[in-house]
Amino acid sequence: MPLDPFALTIIFIALGLGAVVKSIAGAGLPLVAVPFMAIFLGVEHAVIVIQVPNIVSNLWLIYANRSKFREMPLHLELWIPSAVAIFIGVWFLSSADRDFIGVLFAGFLGIFLVLIWLKPEFKLSGLTNKIVTPVVSVLGGFIQGSAGASHPIYSPLLYSLRLGRESFLLYSGLLFGSFNIIQVVGMLIFGMFTLQHFWQGLVALIPLFIFQYAGMKFSSRVSPALSNKMVLVILTAIELKLIWDVFIG
C-alpha cells in the first residue's frame, strides 16, 4: 500500500469534501482537497496527488454536459497565457523552498477568504476585456501550477461569460481539465510525478466517484447560498491550520 492508513484517511476525507463541492459548483475539488491534504502531506505532495482524480472529475463533468458543446466560447486570450503560466508555476513548485511554498499557499487562500467574507458579492467587472483577461490568466495559471487551486482567480472570468448552468459546468470541465494535463506534463518533465503518486491518485478515485455521484444527485436540493457558506467554513478552518503550521507550529 503506497500510503499508510492515516494518510489514506486524510485523502479520502479531502477528496470526499472536494468532490461534493465540485459536483454542485462545477469547480472546487482542488480548492478544498489540496489545502486539507497539504496540512498533513505537504503542498507539493498534495498538488501532485490531486491531478489524477481532478482529471477524471473534469472528464466526468464534460461527459455529463456534452450536449452544450456548440455553445462553448473559445477565448484564446484566457487559455494561452494560462497554459504558459501553469508550466512556470509547476517549475516553481519543483524548485522553490517548501516552507516558502507553504507561506505562499496560505497567502493565496487567505486573500480569497478575506475578499469573500468581507464582500460576499465580490466580482471583478470587465474581465472579458482583451487586456485584463490575459493578465489575470497569467496570475491564475501560475497559482494553478504552483498551488493547484486557482478557482478563486478564474471564477470571475468564467462568470463573466454569462453561460447557463450546464454550459458553465462544461466550460469549467474543459478549462480545468486542460490545465491538469499541462500540470502533469510539467511534473513529468521536472521529475515530480512518480509511479507512487500515480497509484495514490488512483486510490483517491474511490472517494471521488462516491461523493461526486452523490453530489450530482442531490445538488438540485442544495441552495447555492448554503453550499457557499459550507465551503467557506471548511476553507476558513483549513486556513487557520495552515497559518498555525507555517508561523507557529
Quick: pLDDT tens for 88-110.
Answer: 999 988 887 767 767 777 777 77
Cα-based distances in Å from 185 to 48, 189, 213: 11, 6, 28
Residue (of 245, 89, 116) closest to 182 by Cα position: 89
What type of residue is 12?
F
Higher pLDDT, 193 or 234: 193
Task: Give me the half-sphere count of Cα atoms (radius 13 Å) on the Cβ side of residue 203.
Answer: 20
Q: Spell out the residues 6+ positions from residue 37 whose beta carbon is closer than 8 angstroms to its own.
A: 10, 11, 14, 45, 46, 49, 50
> Is 144 within 8 Å of 150 (Cβ atoms)?
yes
Residue 122 has pLDDT above 60, yes or no: no
Domain boundaries, the chain: 5-248
Quick: pLDDT tens for 159-195.
Answer: 666 677 778 778 888 998 999 999 999 999 999 998 8
Q: How is residue 221 annotated by DSSP? A: G
**Any idea which residue has 493547484 for its cell?**
148
